[in-house]
Chains A and B, each alone.
Chain A
């Protein structure tokens, strides 16, 4: 299987050092390249094998979405069943519920985790003391270095019946809420923990972009009578716009893949109505209930939407604002 797949790319270059063949001109260029750079080509073999086996073989492996997979049989399935599994999820009411949840969580995450780093970066940029600025940055980056398992554990402790959040609720005269078992709170918990973990780290690129803004622009704005706020609005924000758009496109591209691992760690059967997302649903269908082909069909659908989103976001941004990833 491996050799069969690796043939086109891995062998194309290295396999023709031998005798000259029929179409000398084309072969010659590759032959010259091989002769000059064969050592570079040999270096590429192992990493290329990695990509072919662990990245491209699973892409082809998606054909099991259209074939019947038998445990212990071929990883590409046994017999063709056409669109059977696609029809299955289109008619599956659970699927549409988790699809809606995915959209809701993705949208909420985008609404909060995209602008907040920009705000924090702008605030940090107004700090005069180098040490205070560095202190705030160092602390705010910290959650980014934690395992998602630790984050989930901390969240569970904080929102437990006797945790800090419920102590505040009680202090304000309310009744303790069983947050982790209550579907109506899941989205709030998920998005808050996401903000907590990512907002500081998200400022890095904006702070870097801020340093590249030409200080003469500020002087010119000041001469024109712009106050601090107007300077921010008319000089700073346009200055970091390319960075904002690049990060927005990347965020949109990961829209469908909303924190699979975090949801898996934080949800429970009681919170499925709001917490279950496409990826956790396909995890349960595929790996817990062993319905590989059906789950692969759902996964393929998810990846295709993700790819479509990033391609269209990129195209729209290139046409409208002239910034794009490629």
Chain B
């Protein structure tokens, strides 16, 4: 089994069976293939529609959105809403916070995950089974919301970046992916390095990590996207709006319009923040993800397969 993420991704493009057979030309199968293509195009359309809709709204005038006239193309095209959102210092501040949290959390996560996965990949290590068990058990049982909240408060991390970057520093799934990768590396290389006088730290830094660029890149992507998208940690542990990441900024904007505190206020509040401002904020929040998506997608696919094969 190959463990190089890029090669794994290519394997997905291979057809699962030899293609042309006499049965392929039966009329029934030909009809099926047309129907199949139509169904799949339908899936594509349904998947893409919400994105197109939001982008169209972001360029439209509020009045057209409120009267339900914006679907696929902008009506009353203008860039005013973008200028409005871009001129809001709170928006840029939350955007900057997201960048800071994402970079810090990803760096911490990568170091901890790599180091632990490397140790877990050493089968000769006494107590290895226990170390694996400690990690895997947390996949199936967790302390729950309240004890976690009480703990983070008790450690005095509320309203600090630590509440965002530390509690989820290691993802056990990512840990198992890395462990599988390290296990697939040839042991001879490390043995040779040891004979040449490198110690464990040297082997990890100078032999193993340079060979692991592909999986490191995959892991960085996994963590970075997860951190970029996360909101709940920040929502729980940050009270000061100058610390909010952009997801919480957006959530408060959406919630301000819909989950009103008193039941009667729901309808009247619905226009409090106009739809095009929400649309612009959403577009700007997903923009970095969409921009890198075509390049990162295949790494994700192979990362998931790498993790799954090990199961």
Contact = CB atoms under 8 A, between A and B. Distances in A.
Interface of A: 9, 12-13, 29-30, 33, 37, 39-41, 43-44, 46-48, 50-51, 53-62, 64, 69, 75, 120, 123-128, 130, 132-143, 145-150, 152-154, 156-158, 160-164, 166-167, 178, 180-181, 196, 199-200, 204-205, 207-208, 210-211, 213, 215, 218-219, 222, 227-228, 246, 253, 261, 265, 267-270, 279, 282-283, 286-287, 292, 295-296, 299-300, 302-303, 306-307, 310-311, 325
Interface stretch (B30-38, B78-86, B180-188, B212-220): B30-38
A290 B144 CA distance: 16
Contact of B11 (A58, A126, A211, A303): A211
Interface of B: 11-19, 21, 23, 26, 28-29, 32-33, 36-37, 39-41, 43-44, 46-51, 53-54, 57, 65-68, 71, 112-113, 115-116, 118-119, 122, 124-127, 130-131, 134-135, 138, 140-151, 153-154, 166-170, 199-201, 204, 225, 228-232, 236, 247-248, 250-251, 254-255, 257-260, 263, 266-267, 270, 275, 278-279, 282, 285-286, 289, 293-294, 297, 300-301, 304-305, 308, 311
Contact of A154 (B54, B68, B71, B151): B54
Contacts of B40: 123-124, 127, 132, 136
A268 B260 CA distance: 8
A157 B150 CA distance: 35
A61 B71 contact: no
Nearest to B285: A150
6 contacts: A134-B13, A138-B294, A145-B300, A152-B254, A157-B279, A282-B145
Nearest to B130: A9
A16 B111 CA distance: 27
Given A44-B131, A153-B254, A75 B66 contact: no
- B17, B26, B112: which has the most chain A beta carbons within 10 Å? B17
A162 B65 contact: yes
B254 A51 contact: no
Given A208-B308, A211-B11, A62 B285 contact: no
Nearest to A58: B143
A228 B254 CA distance: 49
B49 A164 contact: yes
Given A126-B32, A228-B23, 6 more contacts: A39-B199, A55-B138, A145-B300, A205-B308, A261-B232, A292-B150
A227 to B, nearest CB: 6
A40 B125 contact: yes
A288 to B, nearest CB: 11
A133 B16 CA distance: 12
B285 A208 contact: no
Given A9-B130, A62-B143, A268-B266, A148 B231 contact: yes
Contacts of B232: 261
A26 to B, nearest CB: 12
A13 B127 contact: yes
B76 to A, nearest CB: 15
Contacts of A50: 112, 166, 169-170
A58 B142 contact: yes
Contact of B258 (A9, A55, A156, A204): A156
Contact of A57 (B23, B151, B254): B151
B135 A51 contact: yes
Contact of B146 (A133, A246, A253, A286): A286
B167 A143 contact: no
Contacts of B279: 157
B154 A302 contact: no
Contacts of A219: 18
A33 B32 contact: no
A160 B199 CA distance: 62
B254 A156 contact: yes
Q: Which of A44, A138, A207 has the most CB of B within 10 A?
A: A44
A239 B293 CA distance: 31
B200 A130 contact: no
Nearest to A282: B145
B119 to A, nearest CB: 5
A131 B169 CA distance: 38
Nearest to B39: A123
Nearest to A311: B140
A51 B146 contact: no
B147 A61 contact: yes
Contact of B23 (A120, A132, A222, A311): A222
B71 to A, nearest CB: 6
Contacts of B300: 141, 145
B142 A59 contact: yes
Nearest to B49: A164
Interface centre among A207, A267, A279 (most CB of B within 10 A): A207
A13 B204 CA distance: 21
B229 to A, nearest CB: 4
A118 to B, nearest CB: 14
Contacts of A47: 112-113, 115-116, 170
A37 B40 CA distance: 54
